Structure 1
Amino acid sequence: MANKNESSQQPRDESRRQFLKYSGTAIGGVVVGGVIGGLIGANANTDKKDEAAQPDTGKPAKPADRDYNQALMFFNQDQFMTAEAASERIYPKDDSGPGAKELGVAFFIDHQMASAYGMNAREYMSPPFYKSEATQGYQLSFKRRELVALGLDSLNVYSMDKYQKGFPDLAPEEQDKVLGDFEQDAVNIKGVPASTFFAYFLNLTIEGVYADPLYGGNKNMDGWRMRNYPGNQMSFTEQIDKDDFVKMEPLSLSDHLEIG
């Protein structure tokens, strides 16, 4: 009896599959037939023919040329644009090569703030807090990501008060004046000296220019190329005994991952 039921139900299932395949498709739980279904069915058949016509090389398709590091992880859009504009004034494009914007420095800073480093994950950040000596390094109660976000927001607030425009919209000389005011502590930021933010942001900018591209900045290793820095080479045994300077095409840590 069980065998009879199974054999009698199979043709019905096949018939239903054929109906869905050629007459329509299920979208959001609704079966759509008629012209739309016919077009989808025809496209599905065409796709299969196209796939069959393409030779199987046994190799995966070449991925699109995309930089997946160019994605925000912490900043909002306004903070990112401000970071991009401020870092470009600190490290501008000139005849020697690209500036911070083209090198993706703002993405580097954003990724650092989204990481455990930006959260001060390995540091003691609980009260009580005391005034620190200048030689003690970073001693603020703010986490690094909080300091950077506060500083970038303050750049915009100060720019609006002084020039009635946000920092990214200022002329280059106006941006330099605003950054100079922060460097000289001519700006009041709640809970932190403006010069502390400026000094930290300056260091982050330089790090983003010369860090391995794996971390988001130094796009295409152009920061290294400006310095003739070879990057992360596997070995220098063939060059170390040469008297003349050897210019080498730089390598990133990610290049070794691809090789491996």
Structure 2
Amino acid sequence: MAEKKMDSSPDHSRRRFLKYTGTAIGGVVVGGVIGSAVSGGFTKKSAVPSPSASPQAQPAGDYNRAPMFFNQTQLQMTEAASERIFPKDDSGPGASELGVAFYIDHQLASPWGVNARTYRTGPFVKGEVTQGDYLSIQRHELITMGLHSMEETSKSKYSKSFVDLAPEEMDAILTSMEKGEIQVVNGITGKTFFNLFRTMVMEGVYSDPLYGGNSNMQGWKMRKYPGNQMSYTSIMDKDQFIAMEPRSLHDHFVH
């Protein structure tokens, strides 16, 4: 009686089902993998692959290289425009290689992008030259609208998207933005957009890599900047310049 009870238990029935149906369908559906496993196990050869068949260790991914705010078109435009502002040359990599577009993207996705700590009550009036702008729109809106204006200008002037332009054509549009010749929205000119965009590009080049830019601290290395060292006591009494391997905030968090 006890034996019959065990045979009819759900768990025992499931094992029998896997054994017989797995063996039956294995060769048809999955090349015998399921059937071999449930009816007798894998052979030693298949269970222990040779060292030559082992996959090579993959380098760790850079998870800072992931958009949080931009769509792909905006991200590509930001990368192209930032490279024209800080291009690659004999001194070192440009904005694209340094990941500046991802720095800008991450900043716009943060509370800073929505002016979380900025006084936001009107009236919104045009200030004097020495006062700067007091905008009715948020930073992320200014950047996305500025990119949109660049794209529209590119299509109307060159019949191409901004990312498909030649370098000198990109420079021409960016120069027009800088001069305020292109309108962004509600009386806000491209000059306001360009000033903020350029500032963010330079921040992305030289900020701590923890924030998405300055990939591998290459921006710092070009300037021989030591980054975030824990202490300088070992070199404080030195008269000559001491070149130090830069350190990121990430290094202190990990170690």
Instruction: Classify the TM-score, shorter chain.
Output: 0.7 to 0.9
Distance in 2 separating the partners of 1:152 and 1:235: 42
Distance in 2 separating the partners of 1:47 and 1:166: 58
Q: Against the structure 1 CA distance between its residues 33 and 224, is the aligned structure 2 distance closer, same or farther, given a 3 Å change threshold?
A: same
Can you give the 5+ residue segments of structure 2 that lack an aligned partner in the other structure? 50-56
Q: Which amino acid aligns with 2:10?
A: D
Alpha-carbon distance, 1:236 to partner: 0.9
CA deviation vs aligned residue, 1:29-49 (integer Å, no higher than 9, x gap): xxx944336423546955999
Task: Determine if the alignment matches structure 1 residue 40 to structure 2 residue 34.
Answer: yes
Q: Which amino acid aligns with 2:221?
A: R
Q: CA RMSD in A?
A: 2.9
The answer as to whether partners of 1:213 and 1:221 remain within 8 angstroms in 2 is yes
2:225 aligns to what?
229
Q: Which amino acid aligns with 1:161?
A: S
TM-score normalised according to structure 2 size = 0.84
CA deviation vs aligned residue, 1:41-89 (integer Å, no higher than 9, x gap): 5469559998899xxxxxxxx8742100111111111111110010000
Residues 1-150 of structure 1 mapped to structure 2, 5 A cutoff: 8-9=5-6, 12-19=9-16, 21-22=18-19, 33-35=25-27, 36=29, 38-40=32-34, 42=36, 46=42, 64-150=59-145
Q: Against the structure 1 CA distance between its residues 11 and 67, is the aligned structure 2 distance closer, same or farther, given a 3 Å change threshold?
A: same
| Among 162, 184, 187, the residue aligned to 1:167 | 162
Q: Which amino acid aligns with 1:140?
A: L
Q: Against the structure 1 CA distance between its residues 218 and 41, is the aligned structure 2 distance closer, same or farther, given a 3 Å change threshold?
A: farther
Distance in 1 separating the partners of 2:46 and 2:117: 54
Can you give the 5+ residue segments of structure 1 that lack an aligned partner in the other structure? 26-31, 54-61
Number of residue pairs aligned between Structure 1 and Structure 2: 243
The answer as to whether partners of 1:23 and 1:34 remain within 8 angstroms in 2 is no
The answer as to whether partners of 1:159 and 1:165 remain within 8 angstroms in 2 is yes
Alpha-carbon distance, 1:18 to partner: 2.2
| Among 219, 240, 249, the residue aligned to 2:236 | 240
Task: Determine if the alignment matches structure 1 residue 218 to structure 2 residue 244.
Answer: no
The answer as to whether partners of 1:100 and 1:205 remain within 8 angstroms in 2 is yes
Distance in 1 separating the partners of 2:104 and 2:21: 50
